[in-house]
Amino acid sequence: MEKTTEWATALWELKNYLLFLKDSGYSEIPAENIPVEAAEPLPRKAAKEPFEAKKTKPVETPVSAPGPMKERVPEPGAGNAAKLLEEIRREIGDCTRCKLSQGRTNIVFGSGNPNARLVFVGEGPGADEDAQGLPFVGRAGKKLTEIIEKGMGLSRERDTYICNIVKCRPPGNRDPEPDEIAACKPFLIKQLQAINPKVVVALGKPAASTLLERPVPITRERGTWHEFKGTKLMLTFHPAYLLRFYTVENRRNVLEDMKKALSALRDDEPDQGSH
Ligand code: URA
């Protein structure tokens, strides 16, 4: 390989790595405590893939016939999800239940349609989310929106609700610690109960492990169905991981997982029948 090409590749990889750290919420470069995935060596072919993928666009098209999901009518007796969510947010208050409260700017409660049939659960706010008080608004959030809107043919605001296992940003964007998850999890459970979705998607290992209450090897278990308190639970990669390892295979895998989530939603759609 020519020297200039090697330099260009190295710089591209470095840029990608720094963007990954930014996606993961780092506002400075840590000397230690880098997530395991980030600490892994860059795959040799990674530098070329986005450009190759652009030519073929293998996974950017919707995995299922797009079209609006049917507007969800709250089931009788299900209560008013929006009102319940407001109550949960009030109960959280100006929370100091765990040490994450010390470094946060905003509590990131969740956003989307309280009557959504599909809920995404991420890990915790990053720098952008902490600043804006909204989940998944940074680069990983843009990728998630793209997965929902371009990949699944849904509307993020109308068809989904998005929240995290912890509502305050972990310092330096380390993984949330067990005591922090324990303090916040009751509110996540209440949110899911209030929304009562048909499908929950756990984004990445911390979300999957929190919901399933065991360490989940996400590369092995993504794409498989589980159950969370009676609701179907699909596991997939976190969008920040996808951005970091932006391979055709990873993107295809995530969209395959989303295709499964979509079919579960479609299977469950109330039969319109003929009158
Ligand atoms: N990553 C997450 O897990 N959650 C967010 O809200 C943003 C990035």
Is residue 65 one of the residues assigned to a domain? no
Domain with 137 in it:
80-267
* 147: DSSP letter: I
- Asked whether residue 5 is domain-assigned, the answer is no
Q: Examine residue 106 and state whether it is found in any structural domain, yes or no.
A: yes
Name the domain count of the chain. 1
Nearest atom in ligand 1 to 123's CA: 3
* Amino acid 69: pLDDT: 54
Average pLDDT over residues 221-225: 98
Q: What's the confidence (pLDDT) of residue 225?
A: 98
Q: Specify whether the CB–CB gap between 81 and 195 falls below 8 A.
A: yes
Q: What integer pLDDT is reported at residue 7 of this predicted model?
A: 73
Beta-strand ranges (E) seen in the chain are 111-112, 118-122, 160-164, 199-203, 225-228, 231-236
Burial 132-161 (b: 16+ CB within 10 A, else e): bbbbbbbbbbebbbebbbbbbbbebeebbb
Mean pLDDT value across residues 93-122: 98
Instruction: State the distance from the centre of ligand 1 to the C-alpha of 52, rounded, in angstroms.
Output: 28
Cβ atoms of 218 and 205 within 8 Å: the answer is yes
27 within domain boundaries = no
Which amino acids bring their CB within 6 angstroms of ligand 1? 108, 122-126, 129, 135-136, 140-141, 164, 240
Mutate which of 111, 129, 210, 244 to test ligand 1's pocket (most atoms within 8 Å of Cβ)? 129
Atom of ligand 1 nearest to the CA of 203: 3
Collect all residues with Cβ–Cβ distance below 8 Å to 188 and sequence separation of at least 6.
121, 163, 164, 165, 210
Q: What do you get for the CA distance between the two ends of the chain, in Å? A: 69
In a domain, 214, yes or no: yes
Contact 120/192 with Cβ under 8 angstroms?
no
Examine the pLDDT at 212 and tell me if it is beyond 60. yes
- Assigned domain for 215 exists: yes
209 contacts 235 by C-beta, under 8 angstroms: no
Q: How far apart are CA 92 and CA 100, in angstroms?
A: 13
Q: Is residue 103 part of a domain?
A: yes
Mutate to test the pocket of ligand 1, among 22, 109, 120, 164 (most ligand atoms within 8 A of CB): 164
Is 201 inside any structural domain?
Answer: yes
Q: Kindly report which listed range (70-79, 113-122, 150-159, 160-169) carries the lowest average pLDDT score.
A: 70-79
pLDDT over threshold 70, residue 71: no
Q: What is the mean pLDDT of residues 7-26?
A: 60
The pLDDT of residue 13 is 62
Whether the CB-CB separation of 216 and 138 falls below 8 Å is answered with no
CATH code for the domain of 113: 3.40.470.10
* Atom number, ligand 1, closest to the C-alpha of residue 239: 1
